[in-house]
Structure 1
Amino acid sequence: MPTNKKEGLIFGIMMCFGMVFIMSIYNLLINGTIGSFSITTIFELVIGFIIALVLDLFIVGPLAKTITAKLPIDRSKKVYVILTMTTCMVTGMVLLMSAFGLAASALSHGLSGTSILNAYMMIVLKNFILAYPLQLLIMGPLVRGIFVKFVKGKMTAAAAN
């Protein structure tokens, strides 16, 4: 989709912002803390966004592209490439951002007697349940559509002038 580093950065920012925002609200809801929304919550959201963007741009994104390129899929069908890339991206981001969520949760109110591994696995499961369909059915198509219409189109027009 993005064809250069500038487009990749813009696309990554758009995707990360949408996913972090919705996943943060989801986690506040499932943890029963949506009512205690505070400046600390906003700070955690900003930190989460920065971490997600760095992971997306420098670790998960490149790794997902490498894995997608090496898998024996029919590249003539764009949907296969999108499904493969989405699966790799969501899996990587959920695994890493769930660790961030666990650390933030442990620092703010402890683990309440649960083992770290059990707590992490539950967070991963809960996050994957929403993140995969959210990315596949809503955020992916929405961000790709906005990107093509407003970013890609303007960059192409600016390059032509």
Structure 2
Amino acid sequence: MDSNKKEALIFTSMMCFCMVVFMSFYNVIMVNGVSSRLFADVAAGLLPALAVALFCDIVVVGRIAKGLAFRIVKPSAPKIRKVLTISCFMVCGMVILMSLYGTLAHYGFGDNFFRHYFSVLGLNFICALPLQLIVVGPLTRFLFTRMFPVRTAAPGL
């Protein structure tokens, strides 16, 4: 999607923001249900979760996911196969790390840590994979291509 580091950062930020917002609503609803405090609870944790998600995406998961994806998918494969493979690996890595973050932030590292973590991990994966593949990924790509249209070289250059 991106053609330079600035566009890569913008695309990653858009993707992270959308996923963090949707997953924050999902997690708050899973813990507290739908209440009058829903938006306040989501807003309270949004910026820290976004900061952690961007760090994890840029520094850890993005590199690993792309490396694994390009070991599996051939360079000549259709673009959609590359996108879907990278997206699946990204979701796996981000769910593992962000579920860890959420569990530590909300439950701490107590006696029931592993029970909470694996419960949250499973529930987040069930939501995050279809959310990424069906809603956020296509929406982000659509918006990104409108913001940064593909530039073509002038004829004869």
* TM-score of the superposed pair, with normalisation by structure 1: 0.84
Structure 2 CA distance for partners of 1:156 and 1:74, relative to 1, 3 Å = closer
Which letter maps to 2:88? T
Q: How does 1:33-72 map to 2 (within 5 A)?
A: 34-35=34-35, 36-37=37-38, 41-72=42-73
Q: Which of 132, 139, 143 is the equivalent residue of 1:142? A: 139
Match of 2:29 in 1: 29
Between the aligned residues of both structures, percent identity stands at 36
The question of whether the paired residues in 2 share the 8 Å contact of 1:74 and 1:80 is answered with no
Total equivalences in the alignment: 152
Match of 1:18 in 2: 18
1:9: Cα distance to partner? Answer: 0.5
For structure 1, which runs of at least 5 residues remain unmatched after alignment?
none
1:149: Cα distance to partner? Answer: 1.0
Deviates more, 1:65-74 or 1:44-53: 65-74
1:37: Cα distance to partner? Answer: 4.2
Let me know the Cα RMSD of the aligned residues: 2.3
Q: Matched residues in 2 for 1:133 and 1:40: separation?
A: 24
1:42: Cα distance to partner? Answer: 2.4
Match of 1:117 in 2: 114
> Secondary structure in 1 aligned to 2:32?
coil
Structure 2 CA distance for partners of 1:56 and 1:117, relative to 1, 3 Å = same
The question of whether the paired residues in 1 share the 8 Å contact of 2:25 and 2:38 is answered with no
Question: When you count helix as a share of all residues, which structure comes out higher?
Answer: 1
For structure 2, which runs of at least 5 residues remain unmatched after alignment?
none
The question of whether the paired residues in 2 share the 8 Å contact of 1:25 and 1:34 is answered with no
Which letter maps to 1:68? A
Moved over 6 A (4+): none
The question of whether the paired residues in 1 share the 8 Å contact of 2:57 and 2:94 is answered with yes
Q: Matched residues in 2 for 1:39 and 1:25: separation?
A: 10
The question of whether the paired residues in 2 share the 8 Å contact of 1:75 and 1:81 is answered with no
